[in-house]
Every structure is written in structure tokens, then in C-alpha cells.
Amino acid sequence: MSGGKLSPKFLTASVLVSITYLVRPGAPPVVAASLVSSLQVAAVAPSQESERQREARLVEGAKKEGKLMFWTGGTAKDWQYVFSKFRQKYMFLTTDYWRATDADLYQKITTEARAGQYNVDVSGADVEYLQQLKNAGLMKKYNWPNTAGWSPQYKDREGYWIAHHVLCLVPAYNTNLVSAAEAPKSWDDLLDPKWNKAISMDKDGGDWVLMLWSAWGKEKTVKYLKQLARNNLVFGEGAGARTQMLAAGAVKIDVRLNLHQILEYQKKNAPLDWVRTDPILSRPGPLFIAQHAPHPNAAALFGDWFSSLEGQQTYYEASGKLVPDPKVKSHLSEALKGLKISVLPAELTVRGNEAGAIWRDIFWK
């Protein structure tokens, strides 16, 4: 017995003990035998359901529902491509989706729930909202049958969510302004005084503090940030805009950019390279099935398909981001080969306010 689940053998043994109380004294043996047989089938049948049987059951239910409601904070074109591939396989389903910021998604889900309204089947969520959604009973505990080979960092250990992508964040530099010889090679290299006023960063670095905290612990993180602050960072907004500024030569280095975007710029011969830090910081992009999904079979069907190799490959093709399935080979996974990746755990995000305060106290006072 493990993970809080009862094995078929344990269930059968429990059933046999219960028979003493269910079958009247003196009943014919065939009665007891029949009852035991029926209860054994009920206990064992779920574990014996094949992948094909499972899909057939979900398809039958989803056909009656006819729709999948999906809410996301991701890029519209990425999900349009994903849904087009999903509908090619399950043409009987229509997919409606609502796109908003992660904060608005959380607000809409929780506000509607308080009013007793449940309109979403599958939703994205920022990692900082997961604990609150889970505590509110708005996330379905699901077995995600295709994720057995995934790293535990990329899924909730109780099954409440999976990562639909992993956002890797790295320091990067302009190769026209920084030679390979003098380029930083580690986190400590960024502390060199020669980078004074040469490093840019997002003005809101609370989540970055949490990622460092997850990798190093709070004490080392605070010490490092105080040393980094001596280099008088230049602050901007948005990783996309700062990547453009770095490529244009407005600054020499940026300490927190999206790796998949750097690789895309490199394909276009932009003068950018990135630092292979130990570890590489990252955060998951969670996806969950709603506890009160109005179309539960369609939701499960999408969850199973999306977490399959086909679904994972589709999302990588659409977004270019790192996906959790190690069987998906990509330019990004090759670039990260041999490097340690530290993933921000959802449990640590409850310290988000404290992390934000640390950032402001060090860099904005």
C-alpha cells in the first residue's frame, strides 16, 4: 500500500472480512461465493481498465457533452494550434477558450465559485495561485496517466496539476559588447564590479527571489542579492522588451530572460548568448482540471491527450517552450542537456509577499 491508495489485494481482504456480517448464518455457500466474486470485480476492475477502454469511456461521455471550456493566460496562437490538433482527433468536440492574465483567471474562477457558478473545465494558473485554488477545493485530483516518466518537479505529487511548460530563466549578454573571454560564466561572475550599471532586470523581481530561494535557501539568496545590488542594476519591464533592448545593445547583460526566446533570437543571428548557470532557474506553467468541470469527460480527455507524447510535442511545436515529457526532443532540451534545473515549487509561493519585500528593500531603497 503506497501513496494513500488501497491495493486490490487489500480491498479483497477487507471485503472477505465484511462478508461475515453481510451473509446470514447458514446461508448456502454459493451465496457467499457469489457476493465475494462480485465485490472482487468491483474492487479490481478500475486497475484493469486498459488505455483503449479508458479512452472509449471518456469519448462516449465527451460526445454527450460536446464541448470543452478552457481558460488560459498563455499566448492565443499557441493554444489555437493545440486545439486544432486536439479537434483533429476528437472532431465531435468544440473548444471554447477565454484568455486573460493569470490574476484575472484566478479572480474569475474564485468569484464564480463563491456564486455557485462553474464554467471552466481546464485552466491554466500561475504557480503562485495553486495553493489557494487547491485549498478552496477548485482543482480536481487526477491521476494523469501519461505522466509516469516525468520529473516530480513538473507535477503535483497528489495529482492536482501538471506543468504544461517549464519556463527557464537565464542571464544573457550581448556578444557585440561582451567578449566570450570576459562573459560571465556563473552566478558569482555577475557580482564583478566591472558590470556596474551594465546589467538590466525586471523592476518586479519577487518571483526571481523565490526561485533563488528555492535553489539556495533564504540566507544565501539575501546575501547574494545585496552583493548584486552594488552593481546598480538598470530596471525595465517585460522579458520580451528587455530581450529586444539587450539585442539592440542598450545594456550589456540581463540577469533574467526567457531561454526559449534567447534561442529564437540566436536563430535570427542576433548578437546574444546566455550563461550556463548552476542551477538554471525555472518555474512551471501549471494546468489543472476544475473540480466542478461542467464537461468532466471532455476535460479528462483533453488532460490525457495533452499529457501524452502527441500533446506534448504539439505544445512544443506551438510555443517553443520546454515541456515536461523527456521524450520530446527539442533545441531547448538539447541546450539544457547536462545542466541542473531548479524548479520553483508551488509550496514556496506562500512566501511571495516576503520575497517581494526582500526585493524592494534591497533594490528600491
Half-sphere exposure of 10 (CA within 13 A, CB side): 6
Q: Say whether both 228 and 355 belong to one domain.
A: yes
What is the domain extent for residue 63? 51-166+284-335
Measured between alpha carbons, how far is 365 from 304 in angstroms, rounded to an integer?
49
The answer to whether position 223 is within a domain reads yes
Q: Are residues 241 and 129 in the same domain?
A: no
Residue 323: predicted pLDDT: 97
Give me the torsion for CA of 171, 166, 221, 130, rounded to 10°. Answer: 150
216 in the same domain as 196: yes
Q: pLDDT per residue over 175-209, tens digit each?
A: 999 999 999 999 999 999 999 999 999 999 999 99
H or E, element range at 162: strand 162-174
Q: Examine residue 142 and state whether it is found in any structural domain, yes or no.
A: yes
Pairing of strands 162-174, 122-124: unpaired
**pTM, 2 dp:** 0.83
Residue 271 within a domain: yes
Whether 181 is in a domain gets the answer yes
> Quick one: the chain helix, strand, coil %, rounded to 5?
50, 15, 35
Instruction: Tell me: do 251 and 114 sit in the same domain.
Output: no
CA distance 167 to 174: 21
pLDDT at residue number 1 = 38
Dihedral class, residue 68 (left if φ above 0, else alpha if ψ from -120 to 50, else beta): beta
Per-residue model confidence as pLDDT tens for the chain (365 residues) = 334 444 443 333 343 333 333 334 444 433 333 333 333 323 333 456 788 999 999 999 999 999 999 999 888 899 999 999 999 999 999 999 999 999 999 999 999 999 999 999 999 999 999 999 999 999 999 999 999 999 999 999 999 999 999 999 999 999 999 999 999 999 999 999 999 999 999 999 999 999 999 999 999 999 999 999 999 999 999 999 999 999 999 999 999 999 999 999 999 999 999 999 999 999 999 999 999 999 999 999 999 999 999 999 999 999 999 999 999 999 999 999 999 999 999 999 999 999 999 999 999 97
Q: Would residue 3 count as lying in a domain?
A: no
As a whole number of angstroms, the distance between CA 3 and CA 191 comes to: 44
Query: 311 and 347: one domain?
Result: no
Domain for residue 176, yes or no? yes
Q: How many C-beta atoms surround the C-beta of residue 196 within 10 A? A: 11
Exposed / middle / buried, residue 66 (Cβ in 10 Å: 0-12, 13-18, 19+) = exposed
User: Does residue 1 lie in a domain region?
Assistant: no
Q: Please tell me whether residues 223 and 261 are part of one structural domain.
A: yes
User: Do 107 and 228 fall within a single domain?
Assistant: no
329 and 233 fall within a common domain? no
Domain assignment present for residue 276? The answer is: yes
The CATH number of whichever domain residue 83 belongs to comes to 3.40.190.10
Q: Answer yes or no: do 218 and 265 share one domain.
A: yes
How far is it, in rounded angstroms, from Cα 137 to Cα 144? 18
Q: Residues 264, 123: one domain? A: no
Answer yes or no: do 154 and 290 share one domain.
Answer: yes
How many folded domains does the chain comprise?
Answer: 3
| Whether 350 and 231 share a structural domain | yes
